[in-house]
Amino acid sequence: MTEEQAFALASPDGGVYLPGAFLLAPGALKPGQRITGAFRTGAGLGWHEHDGDVFVGCELFFRPGYPANLVPSWIRAVRGCAYSGLGL
């Protein structure tokens, strides 16, 4: 495996973890008939109605971004936050 492949595919604590997307995408399509019906009726499909793979895939895929952005981007963006003026 190349260094780039290992970065994206083999380290769940790295900057990105693509296997989560490979679980999320098919999980989002599992309730196909319900999605079609939701569009036809306008009733929508609640987050809680998705297949469990959607939740696990989201967590795996997006988790690396949270620690990478929490202090340097998100907390600093909150006005009046104690961390916003620390230069973190």
CA–CA gap between residue 19 and residue 56 (Å, rounded): 11
CA–CA gap between residue 12 and residue 9 (Å, rounded): 8
**Domain spans of the chain?**
1-16+63-88, 18-61
pLDDT in tens, the chain (88 residues): 999 999 899 988 877 899 999 999 999 999 889 989 998 999 988 999 999 999 999 999 999 888 888 877 877 777 766 655 555 4
pLDDT at 14: 79
pLDDT at 24: 95
DSSP secondary structure string, 2-47?
Answer: -HHHHHHHT-TTSS--THHHHHHHHHHHTTHHHHHHHHHHS----G
DSSP state of 73: I
